[in-house]
Structure 1
Amino acid sequence: MQMNRLFEIVYLLMQRKTMTAAELAERFEVSKRTIYRDIDALSGAGIPVYASKGKGGGIGLLPDFVLNTSLLSEAEQNEILFGLQSLEATNAMQTGQVLAKLSNLFRKEEVGWIDVDFSEWHSGEAGRDKFGLLKTAILECRVITFTYYSSNGRKSRRQAEPMKLQFKNRAWYLQSFCLKSRELRTFKINRIEDLQYTGEFFERRKMAVPALEESSQKERIQKVDLELAFSPSMAFRIFDEFDRANVHLHEDGSYRVFVSYPEDGWVYGHLLSFGEDLKVISPPHIRSILEEKAKKIAEIYGRPFLI
């Protein structure tokens, strides 16, 4: 508590130049004797604080004092401010106030070096609200309930103790203790709907949250190794979506890509999204599946359109 009060005293004195011991004592609900002990502690720590008597006197700091000259190097200041900006980008609690105070203390202008938007293009405010609710649930240890759609389209209602948000391979995931399965589970956030608090609080479990690829999931899906040929016009997507080490450029400007994906409905739709600019070289069964799906699509568009 004393350390917080000392920090706040320094902040107030930098803002107001001078304050009386009585004003500080009233502000912190302590005695004037305690305030004088705090001033001695600050002075002993190298903070140039002084007390003057008479009309207009009080407790103040030397005019040229900057906090970092006593406690933190230039690099350490920047690390603190940049770290807080990272947290502020995630809408962490009260980070903005702390960032503003420290920027003032360090006499630095804020450098807006990071901006994070947790929502997807199509989700807008709804996506941001979902992340805000999950953040609060994790920080305040609140049980949540939600509807979840698995990769094979199964719909279920879940109740969980949220533990961590993770971003991997262009997607956000929630790692939590599922009260239905009684185990750690990972949920893809864009498959979560009707997210709500239950009103129940939980005590954080003393267990390590595994890395995303190691987390326990019932829905294990076999991966398939793909060899893909792309036309030159797909360069912008190729370098957005694939590891450069797996991309090979041919003399005619086309690309050959080698990648492993979980084989499910998502991968078929993803490959079809490249349209006529992609040809699956292997494995043959994926070629056959895409050919069949392409025929069905053509049939749909070949029928009369009814409103």
Structure 2
Amino acid sequence: MKSNRLFEILMLLLDKRKVTSTELAKKFEVSVRTIYRDVEALSSAGIPIYTTTGKNGGIHLMDNYVLDKSVISNQEQDDILFAIQSLGTVPNLSRNDIYNKLSVLFSPNIKNQESNWLEVDFSGWHSSSNKETELFLQLKKAITTQRVIQLQYISDIGVESTRTVDPLRLLFKYKDWYLYGYCKIRRDFRLFKLFRINHCEILPQKADSYNRIPKPYINDYINQEALIHMELLFNIRAAGKVYENFNHQLIYREDENQLRVSGKLEKNHWFLSLLLSFGPDVFVEKPLSIREDLIKLHMKAINHFLD
């Protein structure tokens, strides 16, 4: 309890530079004598704190003092500033203002260090609009005010539907932002990829409360029955895309010109579409059924252009 009080006293002094013992005693509900013992403890810890008497007297902190490793270590300061830099992933957050304020609060040497070594930007390479930011802020408002939302949502196979959702949280997973909430149509907790939301409307009714909310980021949604052992060969020129989409533990160097992906993978529409996107840079060695499915899909595409 005392350590917490010492830290709060230091924070007050950093903010106001001077307070009276009476003010502190009243705030922390202790005696003035206890406050003076706290001042001695802070001084013994190396904090440049001193007292003056008279009309304008009080407890002071030296003007040039900023919070340093006597309270928070250099490593902890670095970790905090790293976290602030990472907050740039959240739209409409004044990351630079927060970073500058904490840089001043921490050790003075930190202001001279390189502060722009990290930049995070999740906007699309081909997107020049602020639609994503507006949607993000709209969903944030719905979550914080606990309002039901109505979405126009496009599924992974292109089917558009209207969903009424109790929004619970925004989640960044792998390369995309998701909305996690309770879908009243499906009567279940669901993830909605933000890029697939065509329209969002905040409704006046209050969202329901849920005592037990399952975590959306546990990978327990894989259909174990659909897992098939596959042997896939990829041209080395597609290496970047291979490493982006497959578990690195399943990737092996076949030779100078090829990569092999070997292991159990889930066969579904998304997976077949992924393989199609590799064009001539993929060869399905096993199983033959996957190769036949790809041939059918390629022929369907050819016939589409010939019609």
Contact 2:167 2:179 survives alignment (8 Å): yes
Distance 1:213 1:20, change over 3 A: closer
Cα deviation for residue 165 of structure 1 reads 3.0
Distance in 2 of aligned mates of 1:44 and 1:93 = 40
Measured in 1, the distance between the counterparts of 2:8 and 2:187 equals 41
Q: 1:210 aligns with which of 184, 201, 215?
A: 215
Letter in 2 for 1:175: Y
Residues 7-18 of structure 1 aligned to structure 2 (within 5 Å): 7=11, 9-13=13-17
1:298 and 2:302 are equivalent in the alignment: yes
In structure 1, what is the equivalent of residue 177 of structure 2?
172
The structure-2 alpha-carbon separation of the partners of 1:289 and 1:117, relative to structure 1 and needing over 3 Å to count, comes to same
For 1:61, the equivalent position in structure 2 comes to 61
Residues 186, 216 of structure 1: 8 Å contact kept: no
| Alignment RMSD (CA, Å) | 3.8
Equivalents in 2 of 1:220, 1:166: separation in Å? 25
| 276-285 or 113-122: bigger deviation | 113-122
Q: Does 1:43 pair with 2:43?
A: no
For residues 41-75 of structure 1, the C-alpha deviation after alignment (integer angstroms, 9 at most, x for no partner) is 77366253446579998874214423124422222
How has the CA–CA distance of structure 1 residues 81 and 251 changed in structure 2, closer, same or farther, with 3 Å as cutoff?
A: closer
1:119 aligned onto 2:123: yes
Structure 1 counterpart of 2:292: 288
1:255 aligned residue (259, 270, 279)? 259
Number of the residue aligned with 1:198 = 203
- CA offsets, 1:160-182, max 9 Å, x none? 22223334443433221223333
> d(CA) in 2 for partners of 1:220 and 1:164?
28
User: 1:63-118: CA deviations, max 9, x gaps?
Assistant: 44231244222222222222233234324866655443322111333723543323
2:244 pairs with one of 220, 240, 244: 240
Identity %: 29
User: For residues 133 and 51 of structure 1, what CA distance do their matches in structure 2 show?
Assistant: 50
SS, match of residue 190 in structure 1: helix
Q: 1:146 and 2:151 equivalent? A: yes
CA drift of 1:194 comes to 0.3
Paired with 1:168 and 1:96, the residues of 2 have a C-alpha distance of 24
Corresponding residue for residue 85 of structure 1: 85
Residues 184 and 216 of structure 1 are in contact (CA less than 8 Å); yes or no, is this contact kept in structure 2?
no
Counterpart CA distance in 1 for 2:72 and 2:267 is 53
8 Å CA contact retained: 1:228, 1:258: yes
Q: Secondary structure at the match of 2:68?
A: helix
Matched residue, 1:132: 137
Match of 2:71 in 1: 71
Distance of 1:8 and 1:256 partners within structure 2: 61
User: CA distance change for structure 1 residues 223 and 302 in 2, over 3 Å: closer, same or farther?
Assistant: same
Deviation at 1:146, TM superposition (A): 0.7
Shift of 1:216: 7.3
- Choose from 222, 227, 231 the match for 1:227: 231
Residues 104-135 of structure 1 deviation map (CA, whole Å, 9 limit, x = unaligned): 11133372354332333344422233333333
Are the counterparts in 1 of residues 51 and 59 from structure 2 also a CA contact under 8 Å? yes
Change (3 A) 1:92 1:262: farther
How has the CA–CA distance of structure 1 residues 6 and 69 changed in structure 2, closer, same or farther, with 3 Å as cutoff? Answer: closer
Unaligned residue ranges in structure 2 (runs of 5+): none
For residues 69 and 273 of structure 1, do their structure 2 counterparts lie closer, same or farther at Cα, with a shift above 3 Å needed?
closer
For 1:207, what is the secondary structure of its paired residue? coil
Aligned to 2:163: 158
Q: Distance in 2 between matches of 1:136 and 1:267?
A: 35
Contact kept, 8 Å, 1:118 with 1:127, in 2: the verdict is no
One-letter amino acid of the counterpart of residue 284, structure 1? L
Question: Are 2:188 and 1:183 aligned?
Answer: yes
Which consecutive residues of structure 1, in runs of 5 or more, have no partner in the other structure?
A: 14-18, 22-31
Give, as a single letter, the amino acid of the residue that structure 2 aligns with 1:141.
Answer: Q
Look up the equivalent residue of 2:183 and give its one-letter code: C
Deviation of 1:226 after TM superposition, in Å, equals 3.0
- Secondary structure of residue in 2 paired with 1:268: helix
